[in-house]
Amino acid sequence: MTMRAIYLASAALACAFPALADDVNIYTTRQPELIQPVMDAFTAETGITVNLGFVEDGIVERLVAEGDRSPADLVMTVDIASLTQIVDAGVIQPVENEVLDAAIPASLRDSDDMWFGLTTRARIVYASKDRVADGEVTTYEDLASDKWKGRICTRSGTHNYNLALTSAMIAHAGEDATKDWVTGVKSNLARKPQGNDRAQVKAIWAGECDISLGNTYYMGLMMADPEQQPWAESVRIVFPTFEAGGTHVNVSGVALTKAAPNRDNAIRLMEYLVSPEAQAIYAEVNNEYPVRPDANVSDLVASWGTFTADDIDLTEVANQRAAALRIMEEVDFDG
């Protein structure tokens, strides 16, 4: 995105955000419809209007370009790498808050109070009910085994979700072992990486492959779509682990911008987002896992089974993103 495009897009978003004292303005990389229900509940409880500005690309560049003039109070992103990039750009400010600290486990918030996790999702394997036996999927490392030759589908290796998984592999096993693993997974692909996570499940349903990588919540989205429901019914969710760890999880999170024209209201919203009520809405509507240990998952999510989340520090995972991208490009994973 060019600097001129950033300025024009920022101006358009600024015009969309009325400068009212009773508002909260959010830049979000999450699709607004995924978080609108919880924002509506906040407005109903407090009378504070939440304005969502969807920023698909260039959210860091936009905040840097706007500086102190930014209309955004909060920024919400869908993975740890994005949160870390925003921290490194110097466009957010710390929030020392007892409510947030009490609700969110230390492993799911920044040690310097710069970002706070709101939900988690597991990076799992969708496995064909007909062609993959129980127990056949074990570890992430095993996906490079010859037994999966021509049986794996996945989206682009350079997508954030797969880069996060690869980054976690680096954190566990080092770069050399991870490059060997990525090479092995590539050799097992049934087709060139393409589409999104749901497209991989469709490919399993169509018989093009037997397993795919995906995020847990896509199962809920497919089950809610009559056209996609047969895809979902053709697979089951399996929770692989790292050989020396648990199942890979990523986090959606929120941070307070340095500009924050409505700072008090923004912090009030941050507190609400980790309340039992808001966490329950997230769990029910988005089929994600709440960050609150005392919050319940939805019945659908519970039906997928339980898993032990990998306990490696998410900041360490984010720090390996550049190396993960380099490995994906060196092995030409998408080629």
Distance CA 78, CA 90 (A): 19
Q: Are strands 152-153 and 211-215 parallel, antiparallel or unpaired?
A: parallel
Can you give the residue ranges of every domain in the chain? 3-120+250-297, 121-248+308-330
Taking only the tens of pLDDT, the chain with its 335 residues reads 443 443 444 444 544 555 445 699 999 998 888 899 999 999 999 999 999 999 988 999 999 999 999 999 999 998 898 899 999 999 999 999 999 999 999 989 999 999 999 999 999 999 999 999 999 999 999 999 999 999 999 999 999 999 999 999 999 999 999 999 999 999 999 999 999 999 999 999 999 999 999 999 999 999 999 999 999 999 999 999 999 999 999 999 999 999 999 999 999 999 999 999 999 998 888 899 999 999 989 999 999 999 999 989 888 999 999 999 999 999 999 99
Chain centroid, CA 249 distance in Å = 9
Same fold flag, 3-120+250-297 and 121-248+308-330: yes
CA–CA separation, 258 vs 7, rounded Å?
18
Q: What is the pTM of this model?
A: 0.86
pLDDT for 16: 52
- C-alpha–C-alpha distance, residues 71 and 64, integer Å: 12
d(C-alpha 85, C-alpha 82), whole Å: 5
- In sequence order, the 6+-apart residues with CB closer than 8 A to the CB of 218 are 197, 198, 201
- What span, in angstroms and rounded, lies between the C-alpha atoms of 273 and 100? 9
Residue 32: its pLDDT value, please?
A: 85
* Residue pointed to by tokens 């607004």: 32
How many Cα atoms occupy the beta-carbon half-sphere of 194 within 13 Å?
7
What does the block give as tokens for 196? 């999104």
What pLDDT shows up at residue 31?
82
CATH fourth-level superfamily of 121-248+308-330: Periplasmic binding protein-like II (3.40.190.10)
Fold of 3-120+250-297: D-Maltodextrin-Binding Protein; domain 2 (3.40.190)
- CA separation for the pair 18, 24 (Å, rounded): 9
Q: Tokens 């997928």 appear where? A: 304
Take residue 329 and report the two structure tokens written for it: 């490009």
**Residue 132 burial by Cβ neighbours in a 10 Å radius (0-12, 13-18, 19+):** buried
Give the count of alpha carbons within 13 A of 197, CB side only. 23
Distances (CA, A) of 62 to 58, 76, 317: 6, 14, 25
